[in-house]
Amino acid sequence: MTSLYQVLAPTGELTQDIEGRLDESMMIKMYENMVMVRLFDRKSINLQRQGRMGTYAPFEGQEASQVGSALALTPGDWLFPTYRDHAAAIVHGQSMARVFLYWMGHMEGSISPQDLNVMPPCVPIATQMIHAVGTAWASKLQNEQHVSLAYFGDGATSEGDFHEALNFAGVFKTPTIFFCQNNGYAISVPFSQQSASKTIAQRAAAYDIPGVRIDGNDVFAVWLTMKEAMERALNGEGPTLIEAITYRYGAHTTADDPKKYRDQEKLAEEWRTERDPIQRLRTFLIQRGLWSDAQESQLVARANEQIDAALVEAESYPKSRPEDMFKHVYAEPTWMAQEQEGELVKPAKKEDIPA
């Protein structure tokens, strides 16, 4: 079994020397971003419960994986998120207002600034991995110094797209980084029932590319592993498969009840109290004299202010219309789509309205 790479233990102690590889300003930046996106995540869940936002996919518990990997990127690098990687998208430059818009059902929520290579969240499982290989290959052909980072969960490794993407990237040595956040469950199915492989990282051997298994709640291990993978990619050595072992405290989405398929309270409490990514970094920073209660209060206040401002911006948009779902699907609408849209928008008959 591939060993687990760890730099910062759950106790907040370093397990190895990283002198000269990671400076204190980056450590503080990591912490500030993780706190901010956790507050964003909790706000989003509250908004969904209040009926101000649609079904939402939470990520609390996975902040180190998303923040650490996204912070390693340069502005021109490509990011291919799933429906759960809004923390990574925000860190890479996507505005929180746009993320809110996405979950409110606005097409504008999938739009990024012109100079930002963040693709729309991908709901179909694993399809974004092939897209990431394509952009990486294009970057290579054009001699650009950019990598493409594809996020996915352990469930995606059961899809054919996963194998096709790794095979193509391995053959053509594309500068692609495959980042799996292994939460242990593909919705309700545990990883042990998905694959006979003991790890996801070991599957890289079939495509003759490096496979690395890391502590996904250790932001230092995530960032350092990403930097090494990017260096390899930009040196023409090809892709890397990273398996980050982490745990999402909440449900798969706000429409899911995880208590039906796992001991939710016990597992979430164990990970939250013993392996929480934010707590371990906070402990480390305090021990080093790099963080204080006063800084914490200021950070929380500043983050909440930014989140609230983003929400005001998002809620100022006109409400989405159901018929918008038919836009940008076909170059020329099919008769079936036109018929369905007509059924949706036609005025209701009096006899169809319940008394």
Is 180 within 8 Å of 154 (Cβ atoms)?
Answer: yes
Up-side HSE of residue 241: CA atoms within 13 Å toward CB? 26
Alpha helices in 21-112 (DSSP H): 24-49, 63-71, 86-92, 96-103
Is residue 261 annotated as part of the catalytic site, yes or no?
A: yes
- The secondary structure of the chain in percent helix, strand, coil, rounded to multiples of 5, reads 50, 10, 40
- Residue 153: burial class (beta carbons within 10 Å; 0-12, 13-18, 19+): buried
d(CA 13, CA 6): 11
Is 30 within 8 Å of 223 (Cβ atoms)?
Answer: yes
d(CA 44, CA 86): 11
Distance of CA 225 to the CA centre of its chain: 17
Q: How far lies 294's CA from each of 10, 37, 281, 288, in Å? A: 23, 20, 17, 16
d(CA 6, CA 45): 31
Structure tokens that stand for 351 in this block: 């006899």
Is residue 288 annotated as part of the catalytic site, yes or no?
A: no
Question: Which is the catalytic residue, given 106, 252, 275, 282?
Answer: 252
Which residue's structure tokens are 């809620």? 315
Supply the angle between the helices 63-71 and 277-287 in degrees, to the nearest 10: 70
Is residue 185 annotated as part of the catalytic site, yes or no?
A: no
Question: Which is the catalytic residue, given 86, 146, 248, 280?
Answer: 248
Angle at 273 between CA 272 and CA 274, to 5 degrees: 100
Question: Which is the catalytic residue, given 42, 131, 261, 272?
Answer: 261
Would you please indicate which residues are annotated as catalytic (active-site) residues?
Answer: 248, 252, 261
